């Protein structure tokens, strides 16, 4: 890797998910096209050095077709540290979530409805309509198709998934559908974090240190009935900043947009509250870790440690036998980086 190359490789590699029952969790993710890959275990001493958690952990990496990003790492802790994020709203600083494509978002809604009717403790919305690049008064109803999407979030103890069905604006390289699974879904195409109160300086970790491509900055004044108002949820007139960080190979044209995106929400009116950052760290149930791969882990660790982060671990072998190190980013999130 040369000096000018990014420190991380490709899109976001994995979401780490704390689970109570590996078999049950594997069954859930199979509905979205994932399958069991490698398995491994770390003892308590090694887990504390790598993740900051004094508990042994058994992990299973779930693969999605031939994808090299957008994977899932299921983690069962001998001594879990907390219940995790649960069903907190998207607007909560410390929150994590993933987004994937599906051929049929209504089918996802039907299964969420049935799961809840059977007593599952979860929160979900019916699919939310959102035009893309147009307003409704620019369309010709019943004459021309127009780009839009429908999104459905589902949050429960061990997952924070958003599924999206796209209409008339497919992005061919932004995730790949598994046509042979129940939900006909892609690997996760983007993952999100939320920080607050607003501090734009925290974003430098992702492009200046990790070398991701900062591709968009949007200032959104929330209006009733719009996607942020319904899914976050947010009040009319509230302010939201949205920043995307992409694989450096990604481009603006539809056929050059690549999955593996990191989306950051900044909420200037949010109060400082560290508890949800702690709840989204390894050891908890649910979404509790994001990972990237690197071709030069030693150089990346040096950059991270030099960036004034709260904590940087030493490089050692992870559950799967690969060199890795963990850190806490300046905004308070737990990350791990794996040798490619």
Q: What is the pLDDT of residue 213?
A: 95
Q: What is the pLDDT of residue 316?
A: 96
Tell me the two tokens of residue 208: 């200046």
Read off the CATH number of the domain in which 113 is found.
3.10.180.10
**Domain extent for 280:** 9-339
**Domain total of the chain:** 1
Task: Please state whether beta strands 213-221 and 239-246 pair in parallel, antiparallel, or not at all (unpaired).
Answer: antiparallel
Q: What is the pLDDT of residue 23?
A: 97
Q: What is the pLDDT of residue 198?
A: 66
Least confident of 83-92, 257-266, 272-281: 272-281
Q: What confidence tens digit (pLDDT) does each residue in 140-185 have?
A: 999 999 999 999 999 999 999 999 999 998 999 999 999 999 999 9
Residue 2 lies in a domain: no
Q: What is the pLDDT of residue 126?
A: 94
- With a cut of 80, say whether residue 3 has pLDDT above it: no
Torsion, Cα of 70, 76, 82, 84 (10° steps):
20
Residue 332 lies in a domain: yes
Q: What is the pLDDT of residue 266?
A: 92
| Maximum distance among all Cα pairs of the chain, rounded to whole angstroms | 64
**Residue pair 313/325 in contact by the 8 Å Cβ criterion:** yes
Query: Is residue 244 within a helix (H) or strand (E), and if so which, with residue range?
Result: strand 239-246
More confident residue, 260 or 273: 260
HSE, CB side, 13 Å, CA atoms: give it for residue 9.
13
Least confident of 3-17, 108-122, 281-295, 304-318: 3-17
DSSP state of 310: S
Query: Is residue 275 within a helix (H) or strand (E), and if so which, with residue range?
Result: helix 275-279
- With a cut of 80, say whether residue 135 has pLDDT above it: yes
Per-residue confidence at 2, pLDDT binned at 50, 70, 90? low
Rounded mean pLDDT of 120-131? 94
Rounded mean pLDDT of 202-211? 94
- With a cut of 60, say whether residue 1 has pLDDT above it: no
Rounded mean pLDDT of 284-306? 96
Per-residue confidence at 296, pLDDT binned at 50, 70, 90? very high
Per-residue confidence at 268, pLDDT binned at 50, 70, 90? confident
| Rounded Cα distance, 7 and 168, in Å | 35
- With a cut of 80, say whether residue 104 has pLDDT above it: yes
Q: What is the pLDDT of residue 224?
A: 84
- With a cut of 70, say whether residue 59 has pLDDT above it: yes
Residue 57 lies in a domain: yes
Residue 3 lies in a domain: no
Residue 1 lies in a domain: no
Least confident of 2-6, 23-27, 116-120, 319-323: 2-6
Q: Which residue has the tokens 């892609």?
A: 186
| Rounded Cα distance, 308 and 21, in Å | 37
Average pLDDT, the chain: 94
* Percent of the chain residues past pLDDT 90, beyond the cut: 84
Per-residue confidence at 6, pLDDT binned at 50, 70, 90? confident
Q: Hey, CA dihedral for 170, 175, 176, 180, is it positive or negative?
A: negative
Tell me the two tokens of residue 224: 């009733």
Residue 4 lies in a domain: no
Classified as helix, coil or strand, 305 is: helix
Q: What is the pLDDT of residue 4?
A: 63
């Amino acid at each position: 890797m040369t000096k000018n190359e990014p420190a991380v490789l490709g899109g976001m590699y994995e979401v780490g998910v704390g689970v109570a029952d590996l078999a049950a969790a594997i069954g859930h993710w199979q509905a979205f096209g994932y399958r069991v890959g490698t398995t491994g275990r770390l003892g308590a001493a090694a887990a504390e050095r790598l993740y900051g958690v004094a508990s042994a952990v058994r992990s299973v990496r779930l693969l999605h077709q031939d994808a090299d990003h957008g994977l899932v790492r299921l983690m069962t802790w001998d001594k879990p540290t907390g219940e995790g994020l649960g069903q907190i709203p998207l607007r909560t600083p410390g929150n994590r979530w993933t987004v994937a494509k599906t051929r049929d978002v209504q089918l996802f809604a039907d299964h969420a409805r049935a799961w809840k009717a059977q007593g599952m403790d979860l929160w979900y919305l019916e699919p939310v309509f959102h035009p893309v690049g147009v307003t409704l008064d620019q369309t010709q109803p019943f004459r021309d198709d127009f780009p839009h999407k429908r999104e459905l979030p589902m949050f429960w103890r061990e997952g924070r998934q958003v599924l999206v069905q796209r209409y008339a604006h497919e992005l061919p390289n932004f995730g790949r559908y598994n046509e042979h699974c129940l939900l006909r879904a892609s690997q996760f195409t983007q993952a999100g974090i939320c920080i607050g109160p607003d501090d734009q300086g925290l974003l430098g970790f992702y492009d200046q240190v990790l070398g991701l491509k900062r591709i968009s900055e949007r200032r959104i004044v929330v209006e009733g009935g719009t996607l942020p108002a319904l899914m976050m949820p947010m009040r009319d007139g509230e302010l939201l900043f949205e920043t995307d960080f992409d694989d450096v190979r990604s481009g603006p044209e539809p056929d050059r947009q690549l999955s593996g995106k990191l989306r950051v929400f900044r909420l200037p009116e949010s109060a400082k509250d560290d508890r949800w950052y702690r709840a989204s760290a390894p050891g908890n149930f649910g979404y509790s870790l994001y990972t990237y791969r690197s071709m030069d882990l030693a150089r990346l660790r040096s950059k991270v440690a030099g960036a004034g982060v709260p904590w940087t671990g030493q490089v050692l072998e992870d559950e799967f036998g690969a060199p890795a190190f963990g850190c806490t980013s300046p905004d308070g999130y737990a990350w791990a980086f794996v040798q490619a």
